[in-house]
Amino acid sequence: MEKKKLNCWLRFTTKFDKSVQDKFTKWTAFVSRHPKKIITIMFILSIGLGIGFLNKKVENDLDKTYVPQDSVSMRDLDWWSDVWGSPPRYLYFLLETEPTGNNALVKGAFDILWEIDSFLRNLKVEFNGNQIGFEDVCIMNPITKACVEWGVFAYWNFNRTLMDVYNDYYGVVNGGIDIITGERLPYENALGGVERNNGNITFVKAIRTYYALSNAPEEKEKCLAFEKKILDWLADFDYSSSFAIGYVTGRSIDDEIGRSTGSTLGSVAIGYSIMLIFLGVTLGKITSLLHSHFLMAPIGVLSVGLGIISAFGTGSYFITWSNICSILPFLILAVGVDNIYIIINNLDRISSILSPLERCQKALSRSTSILMTAIIDTLAFLSGTVTKFPAIKWFCAYGALCISIVFIFQMTMFLSFLTMEAKRIRKRKHCLFPCYRLKEKFWIDVDTEKESETEIEMIEKEKLADNEFITEKEKITDNEFITEKEKTTDNEFQTEKESSDNEFQTDQEFQTEKETTESEQEFKKEIFKETESTNGVSLIDNNEFIDLDLEESSVPHHIRMQQQKAARKKKQREQKLKKQGKINEKDETQSTISKKSIDSGSTIIAEIEEEDYDVDFEDLPFLPRFIEKYYGPFITKKNIKILIVIIFTIMFGVSIYLSTHITEGLVRKDTFPLDSHLQDYYRIRERYFDPEGRDYYLVFETGTPYHTLYGKNAVLETASKINESKWLKHNIENWYFDYLVYLQATYNGTSFLDENGLPQDPYSFYVVIYDFFSQRQYMHYLLKQHVLINPNQSAPLDQRIIASRMPIYSIDLSNSQKDVESMLDLREITESSQVDCYMFYYFLFLTEQFVIIKQQTFQSIGLALVGLFVVTIIFLVHYRIAFIILITIAFIDIDLFAYMTLLHIRLDVVAYIVLVMSIGFSLDYSAHLSHYFVITPGRDNNKRVIKSLSVMGLSVFFGAFSTFLGVLPVLTFANSNFFRTFIKLFYGTILFAILHGLLFLPVLLSTFGPKYIDSHKRKK
């Protein structure tokens, strides 16, 4: 069969793979020469970079972190703030009777709210050496010069004496007006859980009152100090057990989110400790004081921690910090622990026959997948930075920086310690006390000692002639070979051999002997590399070997055992290849392996190789042997593979269905601690007041021509459509309509009005309006600043009114779907208006996220998957592997959507972050296995998968399980639904990633994976 050539892409990827391995090998050599210097430099660097974190810019305001800043609602909020000023800092007090089920309109309930009111008005706070009171921080009505307040007391004009006089509470409330000013008062402002009989209110379950504080930047610190005193007093406030109180201040949300983060950090610290202990236990070997890696656990965590500190310090110069970023150290540690397991596991798989440097080089060359996962994790985080949500953008920017810098620290500081660890093992030092040299009886692994005495005696009785590397003939040949190789070129060597040996007359014969000799000498050269001088072989810096006295008595037992095993391994290999006809029949000692091309689309070059320096199967720990002997062969059986594919396909189909039922949007109370006073506030509000409706405003912007027929028709038509909307209560307070009615009532039948009911003189429209607002029943429009009149009398007519607003209450919009639909329908009405207007509700920006969260999530996931495919198709050589990885990750993400539906987890900023992160984290549990599959030689994909599972499966599982243990305290002790949701989703990511990585992926690789491409031998 004619061998097919590799196509251009495979030539590039195999060359790239070989180049990466070579770079890792050279870098390891460099690090091993300067480990202490590198450790010192990286430690100092981490301190220098980490200092920058002390000056980080912090932003935790809800409207500036979890809301797209270029959204329509934020544009409207900015316009509102420019005209009416920033929304005030509210003090809300809600009272319910749920514990007893009594009526809330009773004197006992009012007494509690009056006591709070009295405390506010008499409170004095020390600030910058001055005493400040309520009047110093409240918003003053520009006309009445009184503090702005609303609520149930408004029916009595905030006068307790009047309430005592007019104590028919239901009679006053059903009147619906301020008994002093006559202002109409929507009951939704003050009453919740209302029950009616014949249109009259007969039962009230909750009442509320609220005050407005200044939100001016220069007043912020003063308000914060005042609010702090209020919160401290309310925390100890003793009131009747017949009522429950919910309250919120302007600083409550920031304080409680910060407290939630602080309490969670304690849980994260516990998780770190558990991960560290588990890492130490799994890296350590109780059965071996020599080959245990107990100290590498804290060293590995230290390198990751210093990398995180450096990343945070670096990022603080150009990335804003939000409280949600505080969960990053735990997530980055999970990635770092995976890399630690991969590197050390590969180190342990390599026989200690090799020098410490060579062991580390081979371990790193087999661990190049950590570079791939670092790149993909970084790209996954970077894909999240294109979002419109600031908090997600900052979180992902810090995440990408952390992944990159932690990888650098692991390839410098941790690798330096790793080379020192390998040297410790070679020098037979204690795993916990590196200064203490172990006695010879501790040099051999327990697994090696378990070999039966019979086998040892049989090995020792083998003739030296049968052990190829210790025969006298080979000693001479070895010395000759080394000497000639140092002193002569290949041509000189060939000439000397031809003249001294008449047996090989032809070039072909000489070439055969040369290949044979070089093959044997290369094998022996590797076997004898860098043992201690007392062991019979000495290694010079330039890798020159000098044979010393190799009598068996001078060779320590552990070295002799390793040499005998290597010899037997080579002998068994040659016997096996001889039976398969892969050894040249002319010379059985010549290990010339016949190559066969594979006639398939993948065009794979197959060449059978044995890894002579891997630890023997019988010397492996129990779990790798179990995977290779039982688990791997089991899941690669044909029937089992079919069953696995069927199960995961069914899961995928069900997940697609469940994914269509996911809900969107952030619930505010989920961001607060479970024991926060805000929980009571939002519980009462959502139960009694939100169903009564939200206070919307129809806002007309500057430039509306109220005095023209065009403007009149546009304003009245828009207001009418809004009032008739199915989402609103048809109770709009239309000042413009009332003004037109006032004009008709006052000037009807006079020449003052034209046939359209407007003043003949346009200027008169804006003169008579002052008379209108002076009327008792209309005065509130001006007092509440529903109409802002331009004091500049020379301003153009269409700018005489700066802006106006018409309040209106909505129906119950507590359902997120109704919330979104109402916002879009009302926005459609205002956008179709002939004048510039919009619907405003302060928290409409939270509804805005419902509209774009799904689109933004899929956008970031799509970008991350594209980056994943590009990187994997380069690092994993073959496009089939990249497609298999892509399919596996897609399955995991769809399963996560279904998982969210089953656990009633909403698609919000938390889920957005985890779903984007899941691309990189899921790859961590798939890439290492896939990469080892690529570099594992052999023609049988089942055997290659089994080998990959044996080598990488345990590291992947331990990495996942350590993460599972680490997040358990956060899930158990986290005092916030926000972080609990985060951890639940993270658990889901780990669960589905490990299931797909250790079950579904091996089946796909063994069935559809390409054959082996030998990038090292291709040039031959």
> Average pLDDT for residues 447-476, to the nearest whole number?
41
Query: Which of 466-480, 878-892, 927-941, 952-966 is least confident?
Result: 466-480
Domain range summary for the chain, segments of one domain joined by +: 8-33+259-432+850-1008, 454-595, 695-840
Question: What pTM does this model have?
Answer: 0.75
pLDDT, position 566: 58
Q: What is the sign, positive or negative, of the torsion defined by CA atoms of 303, 309, 314, 320?
A: positive
Element (H, E) at 453: helix 453-460
* pLDDT tens digits for range 543-580: 333 333 333 334 444 455 555 555 665 566 566 556 65
* pLDDT tens digits for range 136-167: 888 887 767 788 888 899 899 888 888 888 88
pLDDT, position 38: 95
Tell me the range of 220-234, 238-252, 518-532 where mean pLDDT is highest. 220-234
> Is residue 899 pLDDT above 60, yes or no?
yes
Q: Work out the percent of the chain whose per-residue pLDDT is above 90.
A: 23
Contacts of 829 (CB under 8 A, 6+ apart): 718, 721, 722, 725, 839
How close are the terminal C-alpha atoms of the chain, in Å? 18
Pick 105 or 536 by higher pLDDT: 105
C-beta of residue 38 within 8 angstroms of C-beta of residue 412? yes
Which residue is associated with the tokens 């007041």? 689
* pLDDT tens digits for range 829-869: 999 999 999 999 888 887 888 888 888 888 999 999 999 99
Band (pLDDT 50/70/90 cuts) for residue 599 is very low
Band (pLDDT 50/70/90 cuts) for residue 291 is confident
Pick 450 or 997 by higher pLDDT: 997
- Supply 376's token pair: 């993909």
pLDDT, position 444: 52
* pLDDT tens digits for range 633-666: 999 999 999 999 999 999 999 999 998 888 876 6
pLDDT, position 44: 95
Separation of alpha carbons 389 and 417, rounded Å: 41
Separation of alpha carbons 966 and 278, rounded Å: 9
C-beta of residue 152 within 8 angstroms of C-beta of residue 209? yes
Which residue is associated with the tokens 């304080």? 255
C-beta of residue 290 within 8 angstroms of C-beta of residue 29? no
3-state secondary structure 718-745: HHHHHHCCCCECCCCCCHHHHHHHHHHH
* pLDDT tens digits for range 221-235: 888 899 999 999 988
pLDDT, position 261: 65
Angle at 680 between CA 215 and CA 193, to 5 degrees: 100
* pLDDT tens digits for range 107-145: 888 989 999 999 999 999 988 888 899 888 888 877 677
> Is residue 188 pLDDT above 60, yes or no?
yes
Separation of alpha carbons 109 and 842, rounded Å: 29
* pLDDT tens digits for range 815-838: 777 888 899 999 999 999 999 999
Element (H, E) at 246: strand 244-248
Q: Which of 563, 561, 475, 559 minimizes the C-alpha distance to 521?
A: 475
